[in-house]
Structure 1
């Protein structure tokens, strides 16, 4: 058995994780499993497509340069063969041979080349030459990973809509995927950054709070498919999730519309699923440093690979840190992330993965959720303030720690069935959040708030089993699952202190710089508890009605509990839902070898704690989404195109109608709220070296509050990599973002943001296969715009400025 020398990268990585000794089967056992015969039915055709089908069937990690196979044809392969025999048959007459590197990767070389060419393509190349494109086929096809694919689209399966492992084209619902390459090219470092660029997603800012909407409604949040039920996604989102660094994330999947089959309860706008990076079977490492506008400094490192000679134990370590001021006066944030994960092949068919994510984040001169005032509650206009205007006190803010723990056990049965057991715990602790800000208000005021001992916890466990079944002479796919998720938030909520500007000794036009700390002993504290529980079973199947026709059907049964207990009467309630059924149905018809049309129905329910003027809790909100569309895969599945038309009906939708004497919102239940619209999206490779992701979205609603969400939206991000000549090694790109007007009104006062364009630019130069430099310019023409408009009813109308032009320069080294 080959042993890594003490100075090898694998040994260094093993030292980082402090792991000693193999925990899995030896290499000989894995090789024996690889040699087992499998059934192949790959027709003659383009060699690239044949290799993709081979990698998907065999599970072999196959890496090659696209130029090597471009224009070649394969005779195909039929029958039950060992993978080595099947690949040799596919390559017959092409002039190519397969070779297996020491790390287990299968590579291709020309028959006349020496055996040394079997080294992984990423490790070859002369010094000073640009890193050649390498297409890693099997891994992306098998589990959907996007890193290393250099693509703006997802080639592999996703369970975002149904839990079944379906490609984007096979899924009868709109799904957008933000890949690792897309995030790297456009410097999308936080979840909010990613959502700003994601097709069909509206990002609204309300001072320090960031919320996401799809099709005019809020979204649900998941990490690796594990639901986060925390009540912090709404009012508390300015201190949770949306501003977290995504250094450990491989891709972000966004499902559009209702998601009751995979979520049970939740918002019907969509679901955002963050999928973590996994350890790689080959050694890889990188380090990156950047500097940008407003004294922004960031560094990250990522190291991954095998930890034993057989490669049956793998690890990954990711770390990132950022310190930055803001375009808002005096505001500063700090963000640190450490992510570590291990995977072990307990047997050739069983993989155990464990890991943790630790995050620290701090914000200073915070304003909470109160933006800048545009009109008073009486409709009196307030002079517009500059973009840097900050109503927050210098001492206002918080420090936060978050810890995510997870474990995943996957097993592949001989019959083709697979089982996956997942456990996760996510905690976010914010010991002390202090807020002090001023308000014009006529007369002016200074308001102080304090929240202490904020503890958010999410626990989940899930078991999914899926595989093929034979029925009526055809093969179908079936999924069975069960699980439970629980969220618990506790905090001490301080009473509100209010002072006049004169008493506080500050002037409104000067911002919050002069706000002194109050006597916090004057506050009374409410002991708040928010608890959510979700238990479920579900089943889904893809039924092969005919070669071009697939029926996808499923149902979920959910038990839901909500307990909210506070020292005030307004927030005390208990909600119980038992045996709630959320069905799902979809039909996909292949009308051409690479084009499908589809129709789907999805449902969801949402228990809600909103109350009417009589303090009665509104009944659960119910939502249904109907969608029809067409999807296509082009250029050997390197480009995905989708067109969809949707209708959404909701009952018992809460709409704010005023405030009570305590300043809390009063809602009414709206029946038959309707939204409808269409989406056009493309993602992937338009031609060699040219990647793009773009969309045009229209959605309308009969809700009065819909005016704060744009009805039309256009987004495009694109990059081109020069493959030769004087510009070899250079990648250039740009982004366009446009949205239609938004507004909010009170009486005769209207606060409006007209339609606007934003332009982003990027460039990267690959000096050699190790070193690259990049520059990113966001809002290149320095457009002034409101990123959110807010109606606080009796308090008036408010606005939040969008970010001005920013420039960032970075350097990356790949080992």
Structure 2
């Protein structure tokens, strides 16, 4: 497969010199290049209205039309749109999880909604989102604590103008999605605005035993009190109920051939299997006040309430009677495994955030400044019930075994509480017409508490830290930008409250750092970009005895990720081409364990490629093809020899716009995995166990959107 990828890279002339993701900030159709993007911005970048094309960082913006053309209803679909993003335990029916630049971004700390932190241990619907923003790289300037790799920001649709839209989508075996999007302004000079989004879906994927449903209702409104004063409010409630999908695994010491595995088999197919239920309510209030021609103040508060029932028939390890061997991190050679009844009902998570900021421009000594300063306070509380994780019997990879339930909730869970205060300052200095200096600083004061549901093993600790960021930029031409940046990020890790750990409850601070060099250039018909990055983060590991009943969690070396990103877009006549590629060398370094030293982390491909090619046949009809290709991934943290092969997948699509009186009808059709490729899509190493997830089989989709 490595040879195949090499050929693909050579056949894609733009893959090695493509547009920096930070420039793709307007609605980027998979078929059409939208022209210059040097006026577009993204909130996740942290520099206000400074265009991304002129900012010394890598970011990407996926607009609503782009997501619809790709058939994306889940965040995991970003893995098809940018080469820096790949899967990280993306099981059907469960939370979306992403890897960016080889690091799994944390669902608790790396996600934002309109710039404020949210918890992503839930389903995040896209029906009422105007765009999704992706920041690539260490994010200590934008977040108090977060995993290195990047941040994801969801931007809510607001009532900016009149909208009357309805859509219907059919997909695969029988999935149906209906949605409406309505917006209007009223009152004197349109002082009041309101926008309603509603969606309901019956979910019936190609995966068997995974039928479910979801719905969303969202309302956003604003009041333009005066020319310089704006009050905005919004509320969203959603629910998703669907059985989830356990992974396949190694069979003894071998990686099974994916061509011999039916990707429609769901190992969560017991009669007692229950759906994962994810309920979410989110609300926010934002007040923006202009203080003068160049200054504004903003107060933004939000609350998020999550309720979850997490249930699955969960395969985990096995005992092979033939060889008298217990496989703790894989399945037995004959395809059997131990099956557990896992149930964690009534999980409740709440996040409350308040952010006050002042932003503006000033000049000192001939140097222009674009300043942002503010303070953010947040509270997080997670409350759980005792959970079940009980042996239920023996399953098999054919999905034919039948076991009895074992639902008794006899295992402890862990309550979590957190409070933080963050002070931040960012300054974009324009030194000359072509030269800029960029500074960012964030100081965080953090208090965390943990205690088991039985009231034992309490942990309470406080910490404070400062995360700096600095960059310099030079514009050699009106459309070009050279830059260099350096920054730090922070994560806090606590040894689990389990009796197997000698240091249960001990807290660690993991400080990451990133250095990045980049180049961007853009014209009306061609955009190219290149970024070289180097990220280091301390790595933790467990030092255990043979029985795994006596362990010590400790810092053990560093995770060192070095890579090259290239992306771009071009248009000539009716043709358009967009491409992105990443070459990544990710290694474990300075480990005390000889088996870990120098190893590539599991589930991280060394090379990725995304190519979108399109043709505009008429002003109304366009078609496109999208190629997703990845090199092999290792399966275990201490054995690079066991790998899943690389793979390539082809998606096809078309869009037709039709006028019907005063209305516009947009027809979309798509064929995902058009060649019905059989391969292991990813190999996540989770909970000390190796899992394998197959590519979804060939799936068709059609949709109709009516804009009235």
TM bracket (short chain):
0.7 to 0.9
SS of corresponding position for 1:181: helix
Per-residue deviation at 1:327? 2.5
Per the normalisation by structure 1, the TM-score is 0.73
- Aligned pairs for 1:125-140 (under 5 A) are none
- Aligned pairs for 1:660-739 (under 5 A) are 667-683=553-569, 686-687=571-572, 692-703=577-588, 704=599, 706-722=601-617, 727-739=618-630
Which whole-Å CA distance do the structure 2 matches of 1:559 and 1:610 have between them? 21
Per-residue deviation at 1:754? 1.3
Which whole-Å CA distance do the structure 1 matches of 2:367 and 2:637 have between them? 61
Give 1:450's aligned residue. 343
Q: Does 1:300 align with 2:179?
A: yes
Which whole-Å CA distance do the structure 2 matches of 1:156 and 1:356 have between them? 27
Give 2:670's aligned residue. 776
Give 1:35's aligned residue. none
Per the normalisation by structure 2, the TM-score is 0.84
Give 1:631's aligned residue. 520
Q: 2:650 aligns with which of 739, 749, 759?
A: 759
Query: Retained in 2: the 8 A contact 1:313–1:344?
Result: yes
Aligned length: 638
Relative to structure 1, is the Cα distance of residues 303 and 794 closer, same or farther in structure 2, using a 3 angstrom cutoff?
A: closer
Q: 1:265 aligns with which of 145, 159, 163?
A: 145
Give 2:115's aligned residue. 225
Greater fraction of residues in helix: 1
Give 2:593's aligned residue. none
Q: 2:369 aligns with which of 460, 476, 484?
A: 476
Spell out, residue by residue over 1:498-553, the C-alpha distance to the aligned partner (whole angstroms, 9 max, x if none): 1333xxxxx635526744444x3x43253531122221111111112111111111
SS of corresponding position for 1:623: strand
Q: 1:595 aligns with which of 480, 490, 493?
A: 480
Which whole-Å CA distance do the structure 2 matches of 1:610 and 1:571 have between them? 11
Per-residue deviation at 1:150? 8.4
Relative to structure 1, is the Cα distance of residues 656 and 272 closer, same or farther in structure 2, using a 3 angstrom cutoff?
A: farther
Relative to structure 1, is the Cα distance of residues 185 and 749 closer, same or farther in structure 2, using a 3 angstrom cutoff?
A: closer
Relative to structure 1, is the Cα distance of residues 601 and 747 closer, same or farther in structure 2, using a 3 angstrom cutoff?
A: closer
Greater relative contact order structure (CA < 8 Å, 6+ sep): 2
Spell out, residue by residue over 1:377-417, the C-alpha distance to the aligned partner (whole angstroms, 9 max, x if none): xx478796421222112432232321110111112222310
Which whole-Å CA distance do the structure 2 matches of 1:568 and 1:409 have between them? 43
Query: Retained in 2: the 8 A contact 1:610–1:654?
Result: no
Which whole-Å CA distance do the structure 2 matches of 1:662 and 1:570 have between them? 22
Relative to structure 1, is the Cα distance of residues 791 and 408 closer, same or farther in structure 2, using a 3 angstrom cutoff?
A: closer
Per-residue deviation at 1:343? 1.2
Q: 1:356 aligns with which of 235, 250, 258?
A: 235
Q: Does 1:493 align with 2:364?
A: no
Which whole-Å CA distance do the structure 1 matches of 2:490 and 2:477 have between them? 36
Query: Retained in 1: the 8 A contact 2:179–2:198?
Result: yes
Relative to structure 1, is the Cα distance of residues 312 and 748 closer, same or farther in structure 2, using a 3 angstrom cutoff?
A: closer
SS of corresponding position for 2:125: coil
Give 1:125's aligned residue. none
Relative to structure 1, is the Cα distance of residues 566 and 253 closer, same or farther in structure 2, using a 3 angstrom cutoff?
A: same
Which whole-Å CA distance do the structure 2 matches of 1:743 and 1:776 have between them? 31
Relative to structure 1, is the Cα distance of residues 151 and 299 closer, same or farther in structure 2, using a 3 angstrom cutoff?
A: farther
- Aligned pairs for 1:44-193 (under 5 A) are 146=27, 151=34, 155-193=39-77
SS of corresponding position for 2:249: strand
Spell out, residue by residue over 1:675-713, the C-alpha distance to the aligned partner (whole angstroms, 9 max, x if none): 111111225x62466555421111112223524200111
Relative to structure 1, is the Cα distance of residues 312 and 479 closer, same or farther in structure 2, using a 3 angstrom cutoff?
A: same
Q: State which drifts further: 447-456 or 785-794.
A: 785-794
Per-residue deviation at 1:197? 2.1
Which whole-Å CA distance do the structure 2 matches of 1:464 and 1:615 have between them? 40
Per-residue deviation at 1:759? 0.8
Unmatched 5+ stretches in structure 1:
1-143, 502-506
Q: Does 1:441 align with 2:313?
A: no
Per-residue deviation at 1:201? 0.6
Which whole-Å CA distance do the structure 1 matches of 2:546 and 2:492 have between them? 22
Give 1:69's aligned residue. none
